[in-house]
Structure 1
Amino acid sequence: MPNVICPCGFSVPKGTKCDCRLKQAKARQAANDKGRGSASERGYTAEWQRESKAFLLALGAPLCACGCGRPANMVDHIKAPKGDMILFWDRTNWQPFARGCNSRKNIKAEGGFGR
């Protein structure tokens, strides 16, 4: 497979990323994570675990809201709260989701991996 020239000037095999690109991606992810706060700082505390589990139990054995037919094993926010704790705790903004579907939804809606 032929090599390509990275914008930094290095020759890399086609289909791979140059070290400079990997470092840039890691730096973007670190900056994104720092500004985002930890899970508990965003509201995902023991109280959230208890309440979201109770929400799923109250629904019986719910299926994922995306329509894939998988059993739901977590609670998703329909509209991302982004720091709005009233929206975060609003149960009308909650829906049952399978973890893989939730990750895919969030990457598609908000960008993933620091983007």
Structure 2
Amino acid sequence: MASGQRCACQHAKAKAHDAQRGTAAHRGYGGRWQRESKAFLALPGNERCACGCGRVADMVDHIRAHKGDPVLFWSRSNWQPFARVCNSRKAIASEGGFGRPIRGHQF
């Protein structure tokens, strides 16, 4: 197998994980989220990624994973501007993103 490719068992595990998550809209990231997050990123001071990398923020990240809690999901004090690439890295490291196990490193 070429480097960087998943084996069949990894692919099946990721597919099962994605099926359990539901769609973005089912998880709360529908039209209202699109409007609210766009407005948040337009606020002064929210132009750059909160991780300090200097990239332009192109999404809103939940500082503390909401895990389905609607109060935590919509709390702007739990939001921060992030670059998508940095958010993926954070999810992998702190939440076991993309079906991977959680590592000890926290952001």
Using the size of structure 1 for normalisation, the TM-score is 0.77
Q: Is the 8 A contact 1:74 1:98 kept in 2?
A: yes
CA distance in 2, matches of 1:54, 1:36: 26
**Higher share of residues assigned strand:** 1
Question: What is the rounded CA distance, in whole Å, between the counterparts of 1:79 and 1:36 in structure 2?
Answer: 18
Measured against aligned partners, the alpha-carbon deviations of 1:34-93 in whole angstroms (never above 9, x if no partner) come to: 211111100000110000000111235521100011121110000111111111101000
Sequence identity percentage = 60
Q: Which runs of 5+ in 2 are unaligned?
A: 101-107
1:35 matches 2:20: yes
Query: C-alpha deviations, 1:15-35, integer Å up to 9, x for none?
Result: 687xxx711111111211121
Q: What is the root-mean-square deviation in Å for CA atoms of aligned residues?
A: 2.1
Task: Tell whether the 8 Å contact from 1:78 to 1:94 is kept in structure 2 after alignment.
Answer: yes
Query: What letter matches 1:75 in structure 2?
Result: V
The 1:60/1:31 distance shift into structure 2, 3 A limit, reads: same
- Where in structure 1 are there 5+ consecutive unaligned residues? 1-11
Matches of 1:77 and 1:25 in 2, distance apart?
Answer: 27
**Aligned residue in 2 for 1:78:** 63
- Which residue number corresponds to residue 87 of structure 2? 102
TM-score between both structures, scaled by the size of structure 2: 0.82
Task: Choose from 24, 44, 51 the match for 2:9.
Answer: 24
Whole-Å Cα distance in 2 between the matches of residues 16 and 96 of structure 1? 29
